[in-house]
Amino acid sequence: MNTPIDLQYRAATVDDIPALVELVTSAYRGDSSRKGWTTEADILDGNRIDPEVLRQDIERQRSRVFIAERDGQWLGCAHVCEQDGDGYFGMFSVRPDLQGSGLGRAMLAEAEHIVRDEWKLPLMRMTVIDVRSELIAWYERRGYRRTGIVKPFPYGDERFGIPRRDDLRFEVLVKDLIEPSA
């Protein structure tokens, strides 16, 4: 695997919302997502992100939706924010045809850089649908650990998708970004 070079990152604006919804949905839902390994097409239908929720994420303080580009082409996006004194990582999306290229590792490192070095937060937290064992393993190889804390899936709220099964829930993963003082 080659690590992507010449990546540029920029903060998303509200003008980017329609294209961001399309990118995020293409990475997780429908036939286009099946080109990559992060598809949720077998467990969820519908949108992966709601435009109004995305607007709120873009506009609020200590929150950044960032876009990874190369030569003006959008390759992926993610969201980081401060939540309860720690960093929170989500909406992580890589174009399906580029998954497995090292782009995701580079983007995750950028997210950790923002949270650790710019915002000086000690921990990154995320939630992952717990039946996504391959994705959880990918995060574990990057230093994240399972907490055993689970949260309910928002059944009935179609802004986040239409479940195809009734056993979905989120598990919280964490990674220390700043070593605790001895």
pLDDT tens profile 13-59:
999 999 999 999 888 887 887 887 878 878 888 888 899 999 999 99
Options 3.40.50.1860, 3.30.420.300, 3.40.630.30, 3.40.50.300; CATH of 8-176: 3.40.630.30
Q: What single DSSP character describes residue 7?
A: -
User: In the numeric block, which tokens belong to residue 178?
Assistant: 């700043």
Q: What single DSSP character describes residue 63?
A: E
Question: Do you know the residue count of the chain?
Answer: 182
Q: pTM of this prediction? A: 0.91
Identity of residue 170: F
Q: What single DSSP character describes residue 166?
A: S
123 bridge partner residues: 176
72-115 pLDDT, tens digit per residue, is 999 999 999 999 999 999 999 999 999 989 999 999 999 999 99
Phi first, then psi, for residue 12 (nearest 5°) are -70, 155
